[in-house]
Structures are given as C-alpha cells and as structure tokens.
Amino acid sequence: MPGTKTGGGSRTLLKALRRVLAEPGDGQARLDKVVRLVAGQLVAEVCSIYLKRDRSRLELCATEGLHPDAVHRVSLKIGHGLVGRIAQRAEPIATSNAQEAPGFQYIPETREEAYRSFAGVPIQRLGEVLGVLVIQNRVAREYTEDEIDGLEIVAMVIAEMTEAGMFTNGEEFQPIPQVRTQPVEMVGIAASEGLAEGPAHLHEPRVMVFNPIAENVESERARLHEAMTALRGDIDDLVRSDEIAATGEHRDVLEAYRMFAYDKGWLRRLEEAIESGLSAEVAVEKVQSAARSRMERIADPYLRERLHDLDDLANRLLRHLLGAAGGAPEIQAGAILIARNIGPGELMDHAGQIAGIVLEEGSLSSHAAIVARALSIPMVVQCQRVTRETNPGDKVVVDGAIGAVSLRPGGDVLDAFHQKVVVARQAAEIYKGLRDKPALTLDGTMIALHMNAGILSDLPSLEGSGAGGVGLYRTELQFMLRASLPGRTEQARTYARVLDAANGRPVIFRTLDIGSDKLLSYMKRVEEPNPALGWRAIRLGLDRPLLFKMQLQALIRGAGTRPLSLMFPMVTEADEFRRARALLDEALEGMKARGREVPSTVRVGAMLETPALAYASDAFFAQTDFISVGGNDLMQFFFAADRENERVRQRYDVLNLSFLRLLRDIAIRCDRLDVPLSFCGEAAGRPLEAVALAAVGYRSLSMRAASIGPVKRLLREVDLNEVRDLLAGAEADDQTSLRPRLLDWSRERGLHSDRYTR
C-alpha cells in the first residue's frame, strides 16, 4: 500500500475485498477478482495465487499479469523457486531483483521474465501453509514493511476463504483425498508409561471462520475483550479445580499457563490485527500463525513449549468468539488423542475421557507430559507424521513404556497387544508380591533399588513400587515450570513436602541441573554452539553463587532436623566439588549462627557424568560421601554421541565392552576407597542392563518407579558369577558388546529379561 500505514490502508483493501467476494460467481471467478483487486490496490503489474494441490506441489490457480494459459497448468514443488521457498519456510520473500535472488527458478509458461521485483507471502492458517500470494513489478521496487504486512493480511483472508471452500469449483482445487487404510507401526519416545487401546480422536481445534473481514473495528474489539474475559474465567476455574493434586509442579504448570492468558502483549497484538481490518477470529489466527512461524525455527525446547501453551489458549479464545463453549470439543470416552502438540489446559479438559495420548512433537519435560504423568495417562511424544497417517476413528494401540504406536493394527498385532496387556496385569501382580522382598541375586548379592523423581506427583509411586528410597530427585523441574524464580521459602516448602512424602525413606536431591536443553524462561539465554558441553549444571551454579546458595539454604531449611543427602551434577574436576561443598558449609554455618535448625546429618555426593572425573585422584573420591554415576550423560560424552540426536543416539550401547570397562574401573576404585556408589539413568531401569551393572560392581541402582518390579524380578533369578563369566569370554574374544551373549544366555535359561532390553 504505497504511501499508507498498515491500519488504514489494509482496511480500505479489505473493504474492497469484502465487496468483491460478496459478488456472484464460482470459485475461479472469485480468485480472478481477488488477484485483480490486489494488483490494483498495491500498484503491482502482477498478482498471483498459488494453492497447494498436495503435500509437495503448488499450483498456479489465478493470476493478473502473467500469461493466462499458465493457470492450472503450471505447478511448483515445495522448496523450488522463490514461491516454493516461501511455502517451505512459511516466511515472506521480497526482492527488487528476483532473477538474482537465491533460489530463483524461471518458468517459461508464465512469461514472467519481464518482471524484476517480487514480493510473496505464505497463505497459511495456524501454521499450515495452504499456498502463496505473490505480487511483481517490471521496475526495481523496494517493497515496504507496510506493504508486506498488507499482503500478509490479505493472505490471511484468502486462507480463511480457502478453508471455508469459497474458492472450490467442484473438485477443481481440492487436494486428492488420501484416506489411510493400511496398518502402520510407529515409534516415538515414551513420556508416560502404560498400555492403551481405543479409537483415534484427531485433536484439530481449528474452527471455520466465514466472516474474515471486520465490518466495524470497534465492535470487533469489543467482541475480543468479551471473549478474553470469558477465556480468563475458564483458566481461573481450571486452576482452582481439584481434578489433580493441589500441590506439586503440575500445579505450577497451570499457574504459568494462566499467566499467558493475562499477558498484555498478546492482547495488544490481537488489537493491532483487528485495527488492520481483520475480524476478531482472523486476528487471533494471524497472531497465532506469526508466533508459530517464529517459534518453530527456535531450537530452545522451553521456548517452543510456550508456543504450545499459546496455541491452546488461542484455540479456546476462538471458540468463545464463535459462541461455542470454551471447553474442549466432544470426545469419545476411551479415545486415543492424536495431535501435533497439546497444551496442559486442553489435556486437563480431556481428563477422565481419554485412554492415551500420541503427539507428533512434545518432549519428556513438556507441560503436557508432566500433567499426563500426574494423571497416569499413557503418552508417546515425537511420533513423526502420526497426525498425517491417522484417520478419525482409527483403532490405535499405545505402549507408553517403550514408545510404540500401532495405527489400524491387524489381527496379529491386536492379539499380541492384548496378550501384552494380560501379561502386564499378571506381571503387576508378581511385582506387587515382590514389593517387600529384597533384590537378592542367587549368589547372595544384595542390590538396593531406588526410584528417580522430579515432581511431587511421582512420590506416591514410592510405596507401591517397593523402592528403597529416591536415588535422584531432580530439583530443576520446580524452576523450569515456573514463569519466575521460586523464592527460598517456596523452595524449602517443596523440599519439605518431598521428604514428608518419602516417609523416612532416603532421598538424594540433585542441585540445579539447568542449561543445555533445560532452560529457565526468566534467565537470560546464552547462545552456545554446543549447549550440552557448555555452561550448565555445576558450572552455572558456581558462576551464579547467589542462586546456588539460595537453593542450598532452601534444602537445609526444607530438611529441618531430618537427614539431608544432596549431590552436585556434572562435576568434571575435583576443585568444582570442593568449591560447591564450601558454599554448602557456608550456608550451614550461616543457619547455625542465626539459631536455625540444621539437618541431623548431611551427606554430599558428586554425579560422575564426565570421563574426566573417572580419572580424578583417590583424594577426591575419599572427600565425597558417595558417587552417583549419571549414565545418560556419561555415555553421551564417552561416545561423543548427542543423546538428543536420533541419528547417533542408538548407535552406541551401554553394554559396549569399552563402556562396561569404564564402569567397572569406577566400581573397583569406589570399593577400594569404601565410597558408596550408585548408578542412575535409563540403563538402570532395563532388566538386562541392570544385571550387567550389578555384575561389574554396582550395588545401588536408581530408575523410574515402574522399572523396579521388572528389574527386581530378574535380579532375583540370576547368578552374577555367570554374567561375569560371559563378560570375560566376550572380552577374550574381542567382542564389541556383551549384549548378544547376554541375550542368548537369558533366553536359554528362560529368564524374564525381555522388557526394556534396549
């Protein structure tokens, strides 16, 4: 809109567009009128609309200025040419010299060689690109930000009209339907354990908007404020509900979610979109699409999680604007929820109705995963293409223990799944019977089994699982799930509740392990080329002594006069441990000086997660009260394989003989120096790996609560001397891994080792 600001200029264009769309005519006639209008209003010699024909191809569906014979005859692959790049990246491209721009592709049929300047924007709805809107000029022209913004506003209207079917003409523009009929087996990441079976419910909270252009800006603004008030009331009610426990980090999740609903910046952006001439509904979608386009290019998992909360809130707001209830759409009881992602609020809406959840995105530390675990709903995340492969109502089976999902399973798969359900029930009864029995091997070796935890809702599993205590309590989750730093008193209250819930059983608190993929929204982000090897864990704590000391003081206060055990994460050299312990001693002395209660005993350990610490001096090991091997990170650094990278993560095995030698050397050293040693990590919770760890000298293992029963059952069936003989034989034969021989041995003896073998 040359010479105008976005608000007034875009409103003028949208009013004209509304008149054009109200005129009689079929889908093609509407498209032709739109390109003529946009070209005239923006003083462009060319305006073209490309719409998606299928997942990989765009088709020229209307043009003003290019050769008319090219319409419906020219198509572009996503990613090819400037138009294809816009569709692929969901970002505008503007240039005064198109032929020299990266990615330019000449299409002879369009006869566009005469046009030098190019500006294009994605036609998208809620992050899904439906097409591309383009303008071109013969002379070199620098398109302004206002003009690009105006194009994006028009593209939003086109997206709504496309979704509503206003540009269809029979079957002319409709993508070829691809209803899936074949069984599909998929593997994601297990986020919440359990088995589930039910019909698929595709979580598509998108709503149809038939009036995308505002007739009266003031009335649209009033509608927005009315809907926002109703939305905030919904969220307030949700936070006050008693469907889950009133305390714990999942409650903090909902409080942070409520803060988004009251965010003034979000409301301001919505009002600006309405001011441009859009209806309130389309304004919500415009802001939502813009946020998704930005956030999907951000690697930071915490920031990406905020996007999912915003999606959830925007969908609720849309339903209020359309007069529908703010609650979730109707869902069949016992359904499996299939989604790209989901916010904690909408998951709570479905509590008690769904049997399982499968997400295309998500993470183990996402808000939805935390709430799912609190509600004991089986959940699999990062299940690629699941939303595209699923039809509404499809039969779905979910194995939340190993991250397996079956769509439209055949009879054999269903029979196997049902058998697994039966076996799981039988095994649960066996594990229940083993709950109070020791993990004592046939050769008389006692293995202590502890559980890992990170939120208060994990603690009820302590009693039922038979765990001897909490071998790892991840304190950082309390910090990650809040919008602001929890104060000393609040932290102390949480730690006290953890010890209360443990009811006398030992709990080992790990001090803040933030950095890498665990970031705090209220802490300034430090850009690092390799965060896993960067400023994190104890390094960050020592560089921020006030933050670190505040947590140490809170741990002391939370323990009261009870024993306190804590450990420092990712210690790499002895001096880091000494400095951290000095801060702890300073905090203890300060509490005593003020007449405060202090723990009856304080045990301080180090997490051995780097190969460097394995070769520290005997003097260092003797200074610690215990050593806990953090298997996940140690394995990552030992093999130089990023555990978040699926391309390399599965290449390396905890039963690799080189890694087992390292673990054995650590165990021998700790035994010689009489330093208690434990192993915590995913491997500890897999029965076969747990047996190998016990064989090389580990007498304490910490794992997920659900793994304790299977691990205890196998340990009680084995003689560790036989496992050591297998290890010696594999080493003598220069094998790479102990796994093949250990598997063959366990199967020959009929041992219960198949669950979580890798």
Active-site residues, by number, are 367, 680
| Amino acid sitting at position 298 | I
Alpha carbon of 179 to those of 171, 391, 397, 571: distances in Å?
16, 7, 19, 53
Residue of 206, 130, 202, 158 whose CA lies nearest to 47: 158
Q: Cα–Cα distance between 605 and 570 in angstroms, integer?
A: 11
Give the count of beta carbons closer than 10 Å to the beta carbon of residue 574: 17
The CA angle 17-23-27, to the nearest 5 degrees, is: 85
Q: Cα–Cα distance between 230 and 466 in angstroms, integer?
A: 46
Strands 700-703 and 446-453: parallel
Residue of 368, 469, 478, 479 whose CA lies nearest to 678: 469
Q: Which tokens in the block code for residue 600?
A: 């009856």
Cβ atoms of 306 and 366 closer than 8 Å: no
Q: Which tokens in the block code for residue 602?
A: 């304080």
The CA angle 505-506-510, to the nearest 5 degrees, is: 140
Q: Which residue has the tokens 């730690």?
A: 495
Q: Which residue has the tokens 């979610």?
A: 257
Name the DSSP letter for residue 366.
S
| Amino acid sitting at position 124 | Q
Q: Cα–Cα distance between 581 and 574 in angstroms, integer?
A: 11
Cβ atoms of 448 and 701 closer than 8 Å: yes
Give the count of beta carbons closer than 10 Å to the beta carbon of residue 421: 15
Q: Cα–Cα distance between 339 and 357 in angstroms, integer?
A: 8
Name the DSSP letter for residue 343.
-
Q: Cα–Cα distance between 489 and 481 in angstroms, integer?
A: 17
Q: Which tokens in the block code for residue 628?
A: 């806990």
Strand, helix or coil at 248? coil
Please list the helix, strand and coil fractions of the chain in percent, rounded to the nearest 5, in that order: 45, 20, 35
Expressed in angstroms, the distance from the first to the final Cα of the chain is 60
Residue 470 parent element (H or E): strand 470-474
Q: Which tokens in the block code for residue 383?
A: 């299940």
Q: Cα–Cα distance between 532 and 536 in angstroms, integer?
A: 8
The separation between CA 177 and the C-alpha centre of its own chain, rounded to angstroms, equals 30
- Could you give the angle at which helices 657-673 and 720-732 cross, rounded to 10 degrees? 130
Q: Cα–Cα distance between 267 and 248 in angstroms, integer?
A: 29
Half-sphere exposure (Cβ direction) of 380: Cα atoms closer than 13 Å: 30
